[in-house]
Chains A and B, each alone.
Chain A
Amino acid sequence: MTDELKKEIEGARRSFLHDLEHVQSPEQLAALRERFLSRRKGQVSLFLARLRECPPAEKPVAGQEINRFKEFVEEALAGAEAARISASAPWSDPSLPASELPVGRLHLIADIQRRIEDIFQQLGYEIATGPEVERDEYNFTLLNFPEHHPARDEQDTFFLEGHDDLLLRTHTSPMQVRYMLAHPPPLKIVSPGKAFRKDDPDATHSPCFHQVEGLLVDRGIHFSHLKGTLEAFCRSFYGPDVVLRFRPGYFPFTEPSAEVDISCFLCAGKNSDCRVCKGTGWLEILGSGMVHPQVLRNCRIDPEEYSGFAFGMGIERVAMVKYGVPDLRLLYDNDLRLLGQFG
């Protein structure tokens, strides 16, 4: 039975090709389509009707044969129709490749910074920026770094010739002081920007880097508010499942202080060879704490009435942790082969 059908299909194929070759007009082409593909009387339908007579075991093979013939006829007809149309129009091939038009990108750091800003802006924070050449007072003294305190050693500072009271800010925290001196609470800001420390460039250090600083001061603000806020940020930025870990830390301008880790967004601590967390399950990403009462007093805010929290994160660190940039220096090489991958 199947062999018989096969033979008949082969005959139909030859007949179709012969007729197709002799088609002269669109009308003839339409008639040919009708003859083979008409749902009721077309050759393909007739073959399909014959399937009913097939023994069940042969049905699948026979069905496949008929389908293959149907596809062959459809494709041949479509090609012939297309050829008829294009023969009368100028040549064009819409499948030719698209031109590679140039596309520019934001620097990865600028892009990350903007996304961090956007999240905090949605949480109602104002974005406040300050100068990179900063007064010693704002960078250190008013932030509760006493003049001759070893805490200053941790932030190796660039100083300026002829300006003993000025320096390149070692963090974006002086913006806290500037803002608090200028605005009474409640206040809620993030302050992004460049900061500088006298470190020779290596894989994890740069004399110039970027931070985003946050500050919130109001009545009744407590340490848990800091955690809630950072949780909201980290879940938005790193993924809804990340968990935060607070560890005791030390910053002269916060008390209590905390280093903040997030659970590894890649392996969640389940992969001991994880390339992101190196198997520890945690990523150190933030420094934070409750604003030190002395800093509030220095900024003419009464710590008996108000409390607040502050936090800061390094953008380069985010680039390395979240995007796998292996060496911090790459971010300042400005090689288009890197810049083109982000932003």
Chain B
Amino acid sequence: MKINVEYLKRFVACDLEDKALKELLAGIGLETAETLASDGETVLDIETTPNRPDWLSHYGIAREIAAKDHRLRFTPMDVSGASLDAPSTGFAIHVEDAADCRRYSGCIVRGLTVRESPPDVQKLLVSLGFRPINDIVDASNLVMMTCGQPLHIFDLDRLQGGEVRVRRARRGESLRLLDERDVALDERHLLIADARRPLALAGIMGGLDSGIGPGTRHIFIESACFDPVVIRLGAHALGLKTDASYRFERGMDAEATLPALKMALLFLARSQGRRLAPAFFQDAYPRPQERPVIHLDKDFPARLTGMELPAAASAAILGRLGFALRDEGGHWAVTPPSHRVDAQCREDLVEEIARIHGYEHLPGEMPLAANPVLRVDGGRVAVQRLQCQLADAGFNEVINYVFQSPEENLMADPQGEPLTLKNPLGRDFSVMKNSLLPGLLKNTAANANQGIERVALFEIGNVFGQEGKRVLESRRLAISACGLQQKKDWRLAAQAFDFAWFKSQLALLGRRLRLELAFRQGRHPAFSPSCCFAVEVDRRGCGWAGEVAAELRRFAKLDADAPVFAAEFDLAALIAAAPESRFLPWNRFPAARRDFTFLVAKSVRFEALRAAIERLRPEALESYELTDVFQGQAVPADKVSLSMGFTYRAQERTLTGDEVNAAHRGFIERLAAELGLIQR
């Protein structure tokens, strides 16, 4: 909202310098976004809020200044020199639905000669961002900028049938607007029409045909109050936003229409150089604007703010803001002034009192309120542990947008139904992510292409999908690694990431939550078929891990030919599976270990060996581990040599050497027979 400081001071005689004025305004909620100079005058571009349509004029700002500084008075323009004393015959105003238009005041002025506005008016309008057009159009703009009321002025000769009608448009009607756009209309649009056709979009923009031209001689001036929602929906439907619609959709003061008409008459009288008497006047105002009566306990302002606010001070502030107070003992019955359409409840009044009194008087005090039960989110603690674990292992956290391109969604889950944005920023951001992996891969590519040798990343974020009408949203943890595990230096060799390292990190992550992660071979579009695992806890799937599929790598424009290893977990599943800690007594009997080195066909995966061990394990077998993998001259080309250690222990006693040998020998024989192992 542009305010010309010199013009403003006509309505409130304050002698503040610009800087002090801006500070005063900021203190009551009016921040200056920009200070402009226009032809030697200061113009403040003031930020206003949607609840205060009354601020959208010089009157509005002047009123606030006078309320803040009790020495000042708001002095509106004297419009008593203009008269609306005119017949209401020979022309007619019809409002079809009072719900659409609360008030419609209009008058006819005859015998004008269109001319330029006086230079000071032109200068003022330019300073406020308007282009002066002619004295009639300029008068309507000046009225709006002075008191806030938007006017519309029609060329009377273009109106047919001797009437204006405020009505909804009918489907199929159209109108050429002042900006020369043709718009197709329907029932959503409120019109000003004459007896035959639409003239203007009510409260939004006039029509080209009935506008003021150089030859205009007689005019019809409209000063109305339209319903905010009707104007808003109508303007939105056409993608229009005008000075008038901006004001009407915020709610205008129905009591302001007549003073605005008079002001317009005075402005015109000045440019026309004669007193103007309207030839017609009608005021369609079926139901006067309702004003709430708000009960305000006298101690409530102090109670709600914690400020020291004596009743007299509160009453004085409300009075200066134009609120009418009736003292009813312990409380006041407060009626807001008609331009304060925002004031609806007692808290609104308290804000007014506190705001004018000054927020700087607000003391700071710690509340004693406490949660009866302080719930601690265990999941949050678990997530923090995972974050720290990953950071300690050298993974960097990233945060990406939640939306991506439809192609990226296909990369991770071609079957799932994507959740699509109705109004995305662009195609690349048009669907809600179903996986964090494409984003992570793009981050990997961006960093690798900068020449960074080690790109290990993770992200925690939500993914989305839908099943019928149900929207799915769940939290994921995705991890990736590409490049060098370790930078080469005088001591350490450069070593590239491999899946064994990556898997170890995942296993470690699992152990951080006391989870034993199992990796079962599977198929997933984001991972290469030769290295793709469903990650399970207690046979329940909680994620995927593997080497990223070539297609996804290409898609992410990963230039380097190093493989990328990645995993994605359902965080809720991971956290839900994490067990509570509980004391377990440990076995105090000695353990016995037996080693076994054997050849196995390369076609047998370790996973199969493990499954067989699990199936055949003797009762006394406590644990086992792989200790060596060897391929060399002594090993046939189609085989690999594995060494394993087996630990035996009984719950209740010490096992004898013979017992261990017997159990181990029988177990190894069955295992060897089943998988064709050859002892070395």
Residues of chain A at the chain B interface (Cβ within 8 Å): 96-97, 99-107, 109-110, 114, 124-127, 129, 131-133, 148-151, 153-154, 158-163, 166, 168, 186-188, 194, 196, 198, 200, 207-208, 216-218, 221-225, 227-229, 231-232, 244-250, 252, 255-258, 290, 292-294, 307, 331-337, 339-340, 343
Q: Is the CB of A216 within 8 A of B367?
A: yes
Q: Closest residue to A123 on the B side, CB-wise?
A: B366
Assuming the contacts A188-B369, A216-B367, A247-B26, asked whether A224 and B307 have C-beta atoms less than 8 A apart, the reply is: yes
Q: B464 to nearest A CB, angstroms?
A: 6
Other A-B pairs beyond A228-B367, A258-B359, A294-B345, 10, CB < 8 Å? A104-B456, A132-B402, A159-B421, A188-B369, A194-B461, A216-B367, A218-B369, A247-B27, A249-B49, A334-B446
How far is it, in angstroms, between the C-alpha of A162 and the C-alpha of B376 when the chains are bound? 36
Q: Is the CB of A100 within 8 A of B489?
A: yes
Q: Is the CB of A109 within 8 A of B369?
A: no
A-B contact pairs, 17 of them (CB 8 A): A99-B489, A102-B394, A107-B398, A110-B460, A126-B371, A133-B432, A148-B228, A158-B421, A166-B471, A187-B371, A216-B367, A223-B307, A224-B365, A244-B364, A247-B31, A334-B447, A336-B450
Among B273-281, B350-358, B585-593, which stretch is in contact with chain A?
B350-358
Residues of chain A within 8 A (CB-CB) of B306 are 222-225
Q: Is the CB of A194 within 8 A of B402?
A: yes
Q: Closest residue to A109 on the B side, CB-wise?
A: B399
Assuming the contacts A153-B50, A186-B370, asked whether A336 and B455 have C-beta atoms less than 8 A apart, the reply is: yes
Complex A-B, nearest 3 residue pairs according to Cβ-Cβ distance, in ascending order: A224-B306, A248-B29, A102-B394
How far is it, in angstroms, between the C-alpha of A277 and the C-alpha of B179 when the chains are bound? 43
Q: Is the CB of A222 within 8 A of B304?
A: yes
Q: Closest residue to A161 on the B side, CB-wise?
A: B420
B653: interface (CB < 8 Å):
no
Q: How many A-B residue pairs have CB under 8 A?
A: 244
Q: Is the CB of A248 within 8 A of B28?
A: yes
Q: Closest residue to B231 on the A side, CB-wise?
A: A148
Assuming the contacts A104-B394, A198-B425, asked whether A227 and B364 have C-beta atoms less than 8 A apart, the reply is: yes
Assuming the contacts A107-B397, A207-B429, asked whether A250 and B250 have C-beta atoms less than 8 A apart, the reply is: no
Q: Closest residue to A333 on the B side, CB-wise?
A: B446
Q: Is the CB of A339 within 8 A of B398?
A: yes
Residues of chain B at the chain A interface (Cβ within 8 Å): 26-29, 31, 49-52, 228-229, 232-233, 249-250, 303-307, 345, 347-348, 350-351, 354-355, 359-360, 362-367, 369-372, 374-377, 380, 384, 387, 390-403, 419-425, 429, 432, 443, 446-447, 450, 452, 454-458, 460-462, 464, 466, 469, 471, 473, 486-487, 489-492
Q: Is the CB of B229 within 8 A of A132?
A: no
Q: Is the CB of B347 within 8 A of A293?
A: yes
Q: Is the CB of A99 within 8 A of B397?
A: no
How far is it, in angstroms, between the C-alpha of A294 and the C-alpha of B346 when the chains are bound? 11
Q: Is the CB of B400 within 8 A of A334?
A: yes
Assuming the contacts A231-B364, A255-B351, asked whether A290 and B304 have C-beta atoms less than 8 A apart, the reply is: yes
Residues of chain A within 8 A (CB-CB) of B471 are 133, 160, 163, 166
Q: Is the CB of B421 within 8 A of A221?
A: no
Q: Is the CB of A105 within 8 A of B397?
A: yes
Q: A337 to nearest B CB, angstroms?
A: 7
How far is it, in angstroms, between the C-alpha of A304 and the C-alpha of B304 when the chains are bound? 11
Q: Is the CB of B395 within 8 A of A131?
A: no
Q: Closest residue to A251 on the B side, CB-wise?
A: B49
Q: A340 to nearest B CB, angstroms?
A: 7
Assuming the contacts A133-B471, A208-B402, asked whether A256 and B347 have C-beta atoms less than 8 A apart, the reply is: yes
From B391, B425, B443, B466, A103 is in contact (CB under 8 Å) with B391
Q: Is the CB of A332 within 8 A of B423?
A: no
Q: B352 to nearest A CB, angstroms?
A: 9
Q: Is the CB of A104 within 8 A of B400?
A: no
Q: Closest residue to B422 on the A side, CB-wise?
A: A159
